[in-house]
């Protein structure tokens, strides 16, 4: 056995032991063993992901963000050499990471990658559940409805991602059929033989948070919810989970400036948005409340354009308003550029977008049929749509029929050197 194989085997053994420690709620010991494996036997992207996720749970946000950046750099460098399973695991992590960073549009970008590249039922279930979850989070009701129906068909398939699917279905049912009806999923899933199902606390916290953000009166359910909370192992709860429970438990609960400053150091950006909004809703002083609303609106306005629109839809239920977008094609570097950022393009993506530039757009319908088979053209349009969505927040910017490809009139493609 070569030295590199020996090192890999030892790293895998240490990694497995660390996972066992994590599952036993020995988080500090698990991180210590993972760090030792990383330093002694060399880097591995799945090991980096587990380290990052443990830092996240421990509310060590600086370390979490630092490892997230390392993982994205590793993804950019070696994605072509990864197995399909590793690609799914990494894109799932990056989607979660950018959601936590308050960059929802980039999160959708990686989730779309994961959803379309999954090759097994297990990978597909994980990608589908996460994509449905995020669409329900931001009230993208058209996508929620479509993905929800697909998820229902697969929910009984044996999978280790059952709790992920249940969370996605719960959030979707809140949006589609209402809070009261959605609560039945919690009761149905909650217990078998008097023991709480593994991961149940995630489902309950999701429900509480959604209710609190939408000012739903939980008085009729308080006794039942407290019955569940009393059975949850406190070691399973993150700092954020405990704050959500505080807002539920104490109707007049309010975080003052010093407390908010402390929590900002322990919460990721997505959690900060949620807690600031809950604090605004809980404020009894009307003048202070108006100031908090203005501050919150300023916070989300600092997000990139597509994410800002998504956040307004999540917190204020403001429908995303279509606006005119200018996207630039850099001919030299083969990149798609907007004010929000830039993305590299593959050759066929660049060629399709070139057809839709202002100089040639009138001929687009005729030229599009030059792209080989209909299946290949549809797959290409899906990839281009994914990148346009990441930069603009506009879903399905391109549509594909048997005779032509069309681009929304609200988008201008401009070539530049």
Mean pLDDT, rounded, of the chain: 86
Counting beta carbons within 10 angstroms of the beta carbon of residue 102, is it exposed (0 to 12), middle (13 to 18) or buried (19 or more)? buried
Residue 371 confidence (pLDDT) above 60: no
The domains of the chain, with CATH numbers, are 84-316 (1.25.40), 325-416 (1.10.10.10)
pLDDT at 198: 76
Residue 322 confidence (pLDDT) above 80: no
Name the CA radius of gyration of the chain, rounded: 23
pLDDT for 136-189, tens place per residue? 999 988 889 889 998 888 877 777 788 899 999 999 999 999 998 899 999 888
Q: With cut-offs at 50, 70 and 90, classify the pLDDT of residue 365.
A: very low
Higher-confidence residue of 312 and 325: namely: 312
Percent of the chain with pLDDT over 70: 90
Other Cβ atoms closer than 10 A to 69: 12
pLDDT (mean) for 280-294 = 92
Q: What is the pTM of this model?
A: 0.74
Residues 33 and 21 sit within 8 Å (Cβ to Cβ) = yes
Per the DSSP assignment, residues forming a β-bridge with 341 are 338
Please tell me the least confidently modeled range out of 77-86, 203-212, 265-274, 403-412. 403-412
Count of residues in the chain: 417
pLDDT at 376: 74
Percent of the chain with pLDDT over 90: 42
Look at the block and give the residue holding tokens 């094609």: 329
pLDDT for 98-110, tens place per residue? 999 998 888 988 8
pLDDT at 3: 47
pLDDT (mean) for 290-314 = 89
pLDDT at 342: 83
Q: With cut-offs at 50, 70 and 90, classify the pLDDT of residue 369.
A: very low
pLDDT at 404: 72
Residue 16 φ then ψ, to 5°: -60, -40
pLDDT for 182-239, tens place per residue? 999 998 888 664 557 778 999 999 999 999 999 999 999 999 999 999 999 998 999 9
Q: Name the nearest CA neighbour of 353 among 397, 403, 392, 394.
A: 397
How is residue 368 written in tokens?
């599009």
Reduce the DSSP state of residue 72 to 3 states and report it. Answer: helix
Please tell me the least confidently modeled range out of 75-84, 280-289, 391-400. 391-400
Dihedral angle, C-alpha 193, 199, 200, 202, nearest 10 °: 180
């Amino acid at each position: 056995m070569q030295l590199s194989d020996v090192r890999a085997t030892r790293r895998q053994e240490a990694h497995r032991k660390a996972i066992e420690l994590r599952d036993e709620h020995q988080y500090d010991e698990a991180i210590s063993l993972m760090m030792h494996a990383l330093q002694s036997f060399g880097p591995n992207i799945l090991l980096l992901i587990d380290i990052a996720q443990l830092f996240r749970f421990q509310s060590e946000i600086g370390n979490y963000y630092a490892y997230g950046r390392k993982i994205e750099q590793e993804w950019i460098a070696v994605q072509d050499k990864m197995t399909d399973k590793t690609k799914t695991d990494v894109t799932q992590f990056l989607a979660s990471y950018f959601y936590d960073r308050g960059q929802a549009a980039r999160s959708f970008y990686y989730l779309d990658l994961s959803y379309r590249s999954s090759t097994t039922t297990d990978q597909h279930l994980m990608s589908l559940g996460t994509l449905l979850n995020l669409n329900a989070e931001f009230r993208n009701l058209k996508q929620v409805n479509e993905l929800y129906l697909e998820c229902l068909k697969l929910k009984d398939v044996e999978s280790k991602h059952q709790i992920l699917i249940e969370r996605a279905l719960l959030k979707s049912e809140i949006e589609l059929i209402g809070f009261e009806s959605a609560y039945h999923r919690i009761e149905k899933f909650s217990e078998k033989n008097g023991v709480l199902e593994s991961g149940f606390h995630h489902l309950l916290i999701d429900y509480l948070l959604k209710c609190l953000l939408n000012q739903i009166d939980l008085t009729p359910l308080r006794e039942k919810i407290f019955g569940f909370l009393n059975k949850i192992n406190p070691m399973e709860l993150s700092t954020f989970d405990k704050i959500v429970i505080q807002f539920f438990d104490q109707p007049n609960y309010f975080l003052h400036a010093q407390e908010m400053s402390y929590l900002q150091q322990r919460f990721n950006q997505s959690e900060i948005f949620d807690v600031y909004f809950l604090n605004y809703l809980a404020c009894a002083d009307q003048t202070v409340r108006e100031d908090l609303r203005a501050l919150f609106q300023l916070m989300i306005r600092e997000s990139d354009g597509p994410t800002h629109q998504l956040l307004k839809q999540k917190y204020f239920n403001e429908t995303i308003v279509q606006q005119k977008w200018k996207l630039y094609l850099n001919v030299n570097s083969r990149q798609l550029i907007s004010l929000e950022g830039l993305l590299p393009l593959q050759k066929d993506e660049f060629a399709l977008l070139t057809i839709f530039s202002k100089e040639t757009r009138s001929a687009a319908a005729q030229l599009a049929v030059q792209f080989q088979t209909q299946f290949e053209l549809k797959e290409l349009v899906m990839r281009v749509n994914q990148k346009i969505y990441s930069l603009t927040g506009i879903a399905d910017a391109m549509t594909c029929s048997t005779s032509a490809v069309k681009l929304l009139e609200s988008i201008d493609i401009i070539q530049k050197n």
